[in-house]
Structure 1
Amino acid sequence: MPRGIRDKVAILGMGCSKFGERWDAGPDDLMVEAYLEAMQDAGVEPTQLDAAWFSTHIDEIGSGKGGTPLSIALRLPNIAVTRVENFCASGSEAFRGAVYAVAAGAADIALAVGVEKLKDTGYGGLPVANPGTLNPQIMPNGSAPGNFAQLASAYRAKHGVSKKAHLRKPITAEQALNAPLIAEPLGLFDCCGVSDGAAAAIVTTPEIARSLGKRDLVTVKALQLSVSNGYESQYNGWDGSHFHTARIAAGKAYKEAGIERPREQISMMEVHDCFSITELVTMEDLFISPEGQGWRDVLDGFYDADGGVPCQIDGGLKCFGHPIGASGLRMLYEMYLQLQGRAGERQLANPVFGMTHNLGGAPASNVCSVAIIGQEGA
């Protein structure tokens, strides 16, 4: 039986660049921006870092497949750098590598950095790979909005839900419902934007963190990844209305964290709201809302800042956009700030557990990472 990593790893420091249309900065500038904040927050020197994990998804930005772009940009002291990529869950994958290295004793202090420069690719949305005509795994002419529109249609048909909108933006329901369609039934305001950004985390053991003078530690309670095996697209059991991998990853994460009643015990969460339907379905796949009832909880205010489980308290991907390699770490950054009582005007009262959900790929073939962090000893 796996023993898990609960409370074996503490977050020593985190940093996040400004997200948006960063025409003023290259990938190296964004990485430095996030890294310097994380290092100052951690209170360590570069020579104290033992290893690093680097996530980025789009090769066109010039990062290539290796770890050298991170090492050169940050002038790391010739330590091991592992470049990882797992679709839109790449940032969470970098964090997983750093956390597991510390938990295993392979590193005392490890760094995770995720970055993406999507605006420089020249695409209005995410760049679309060209698989050729012989690849049976990818639908011809598929797109992210098109794939997730099918999820929305399946959910609406299964649960009898009319087209609704729930966005943290100063717009009316009529504006959202009447916005230009991107892929029926998803309109303009149902889709997150394309942006640039970077985020970083520095992790260590609780013992080392305390020796460095850190108090009120935020520790990793659980970190689980589930990867599709083709069940969704190649068998007849999936009805297209949910994420099979999210349910598996969430169940394992709760078990690892010792959480038996997530709707009551989770204090807040950041979920992968690349599209509005993704957020809605995820609320159910994480076993916070009953299946088919997530939309009721949304309308009842359960996920509002003063609700039972505040969700996307910082605005989520709809606010920040989705620089693929950075999003997973950016979600953790908000949960970390909240647990440290440093979230400013967004600060929630006495959060104990923060959960992030980071999804990569399409509904019919995806990976899902679920992380739970919280107060030490909780």
Structure 2
Amino acid sequence: MSTEVKVPVLGESITEATLGQWLKKPGEPVAVDEPIASLETDKVAVEVPSPVAGIMGAYAVEEGATVNVGAVIASIDAGTGAAAVPAAAASAVAPAVTSTAAPAPVAASENSDLPLSPAVRRLVLELGIDPSKIKGTGKDGRLTKEDVIAAAKGAPAPAATSASTATPAASAPTGARQEERVKMTRLRQTIAKRLKSAQDTAALLTTFNDVDMSAVIEARATYKDLFEKKHGVRLGFMGFFTKAVALAARDVPAVNAQIDGDEIVYHNYLDVSVAVSAPNGLVVPVVRNADAMSFAQIEKAIGDFGAKAKAGALTMEDMSGGTFTISNGGVFGSLMSTPIINPPQSAVLGLHRIEDRAVVRDGQVVVRPMMYLALSYDHRLIDGREAVTFLKIVKEAIEDPTRLLIDL
């Protein structure tokens, strides 16, 4: 007897997803509620748990296929031990490896117990790395592309391949031009559509300023150890900027508002979408009621979201809503950028890298740790005067953090 595994309800208004990766192979034992597949929706990756304990049965769809909510994607057979995989099921385990693939790496990747995503599997084949000998840093110990690349850099050069097993690629002349086509993930497609929609719909404009980070850096250096000891979380820059945005939004409410048809919706709360990097692209989980949170609460919330994003565990609820976005490109080394708003929001604050620059203070040229700030906004709702005022308040609060304490 077998039990069907169906695509679960994915969230409001979401009716389909892409089967991104199988996490269990036919014939492997499965525990109840153990994830057996990963689905990619428009916003996040969702794991499909097994409804019962048993043996993983045949796949009904392959990786990369589009599936609707309620569709059957696999079956769980009764039993507790490893079962032989039928030939038909084995052929559906993954897209067939073409005859041009090198036999040795293929055997290593298919015989490994580690679940490999299509991108990782392809990289393993290209580099000739045995995935069973690599320690994965992804969720549940899964391998990431970074794990494979790091292992390849530290591994000795592979032995020369015999003529009987050499691939056409191996015999290609040095410097051969190659191309690879990879289908965009559903998340990447959605990101592309939303960003283009923002450009087509909103009247986007960006205003810039720079901020002296000396006071914040000094405060962090003075209190970071005590802060972490008391709250169990590191004191970062995002807490300061989030509090500064909350302060500025009180004086310039249009920046925290949105257009809905022919009406303007003003929010008396601040839900900050924090752009963080995830394996499949940039995602923006929401720190809710950030204006009422302490530094420690803000830092903890952002840290938790970062960890969940890296593990691919963000939920629909984590991503929904948001009235304003903060995007920190500085962690990747960006000096300056013009961020695009996250619809239906009307503004986004871009942070950039901190670098020592010569500035004039009291008639003297001095060196200060400076950062460029960029505020992109929808000019249909926010006037230039309001945007400049908002950014100026943020700058003043960062350069004199006491303003955050006395609400000035």
* TM-score for the superposition, normalised by structure 1: 0.26
Q: 1 or 2, which has the higher strand percentage?
A: 2
- Structure with the greater alpha carbon radius of gyration: 2
Larger RCO (CA under 8 A, 6+ residues apart) = 1
